[in-house]
Amino acid sequence: MTDSQLTDSALTEPAAVAASAAAVINSAARVESHDIALVLGSGWGQAADLIGETISELPAAEVPGFHSPVVAGHGGTLRSIRIGDTGQVALVLGARTHFYEDRGVRAVAHGVRTAAAAGCSTLVLTNGCGGLDPAWAPGTPVLISDHLNLTAASPLEGATFVDLTDLYSSRLRGIAREIDPSLDEAVYAQFRGPHYETPAEVRMAGILGAGLVGMSTALEAIAAREAGLEILGISLVTNLAAGVSQEALSHAEVIEAGQAAGPRISDLLARIVTRIAAGQDGRDPAAGRSAADGGVA
Ligand code: 8IG
């Protein structure tokens, strides 16, 4: 069976594929479990290097259910990294499957399900996106406060009624703001893509309450909540959304803005992850989410 059949087949449970991927990842890193997972989107690729020492790195195509990325500028490996001296291990997913790739929602959710199966309790979702606020120059990081899922899809199957209140943890947003008090926050609207929005669609998203528009994150966050992960979402505004400025949008410019902002946002992300890890180390069980909160069923 090929990897894509592994995630597409109705005969294969997503949880089983995630468990086999997690076993490969944990054993390559020689750890029993990982603690924090990061999904690195456009512009965030350099962040992993600052988090700590890499203890293993696997090409996505060698791990069950994963495949090499199709888009230039999107990474393609799964890395295990010791987070400073916290004793915690990060799983950095450099290979995101986008909904627009048409591999199905199972492929989109596979990374975060694998993170949960590998033992992670926290997930940091990053992305590159368009911004609706003209004050956000390309290269501005913005915390995700909530989302609008405009894909008309769900990563969940069957009658799976999952609560999405405080999906993007206010506790973790608070930690991020301790590191950088200037961080703004906004609602992220996931469109299907792969085309960018029309100016009319951007105006619609703004009227609906969005400040950020992109093609990822929301479906992954839903699957992550089902899996019990506490989520932090951070967007890098790589361009003003269509119609907000007079400029046309180009993928090359998006990559360029990401590269220019790379060092600053990598440092920000590494500091946030280290702070979260330090908090989890001698963690007060009452401080985070747990099944006992009634938050995650
Ligand atoms: I980077 O302006 C990036 N990704 N939908 N709109 C959408 N996705 C994006 C954009 C954008 N910029």
The answer to whether residues 58 and 25 touch, using CB atoms and an 8 Å cutoff, is: yes
Q: Which of 58, 59, 67, 63 is closest to 103 using CA atoms? A: 67
Could you tell me the distance, in angstroms and rounded to a whole number, from the CA of residue 161 to the centre of ligand 1?
A: 29
pLDDT for res 9: 53
Kindly state the percentage of the chain with pLDDT values over 70. 88
- For the chain, where are the alpha helices, taking DSSP H only? 3-8, 14-29, 48-51, 105-117, 170-179, 199-207, 218-226, 251-281
Tell me which of 215, 219, 237, 251 to substitute to probe ligand 1's pocket, judged by most ligand atoms within 8 Å of the beta carbon. Answer: 215
| Residue whose entry in the numeric block shows the structure tokens 């499957």 | 97
Statement: the pTM of the whole predicted model exceeds 0.95: no
User: What structural domains does the chain harbor?
Assistant: 3-281 (3.40.50.1580)
Q: Per-residue pLDDT averaged across 3-8, rounded?
A: 52
Query: Alpha-carbon distance 87 to 195, whole Å?
Result: 42
Considering only residues 198 and 70, tell me which one the structure prediction assigns the higher pLDDT. Answer: 198
89 lines ligand 1 (CB under 6 A): no
Q: What is the pLDDT of residue 245?
A: 84
Nearest-atom number in ligand 1 for the CA of 240 is 2
Any atom of ligand 1 within 6 Å of the Cβ of 172 = no
The sign of the torsion formed by the CA atoms of 202, 203, 204, 206 equals positive
Q: How far is the CA of 255 from the centre of ligand 1 (A)?
A: 11
Given a contact cutoff of 8 angstroms between Cβ atoms, the answer to whether 275 and 88 are in contact is no
Structure confidence by residue, pLDDT tens digits, 232-280? 999 999 999 999 988 777 778 777 777 888 888 999 999 999 999 998 8
Is pLDDT at 10 greater than 70 in this prediction?
A: no
Residue nearest to atom 11 of ligand 1 (CA): 130
Instruction: Give per-residue pLDDT as tens, 79-135.
Output: 999 998 888 999 999 878 999 999 999 999 999 999 999 999 999 999 999 999 999
The one-letter amino acid code at 81 reads I
Tell me, what's the pLDDT at 260?
Answer: 82
Read off the pLDDT band of 295 (50, 70, 90).
very low
Distance CA 285, CA 291 (A): 11
Candidate list 197, 201, 220, 230, residue with the active-site label: 197
pLDDT, average across residues 150-159: 95
Q: What is the pLDDT of residue 249?
A: 75
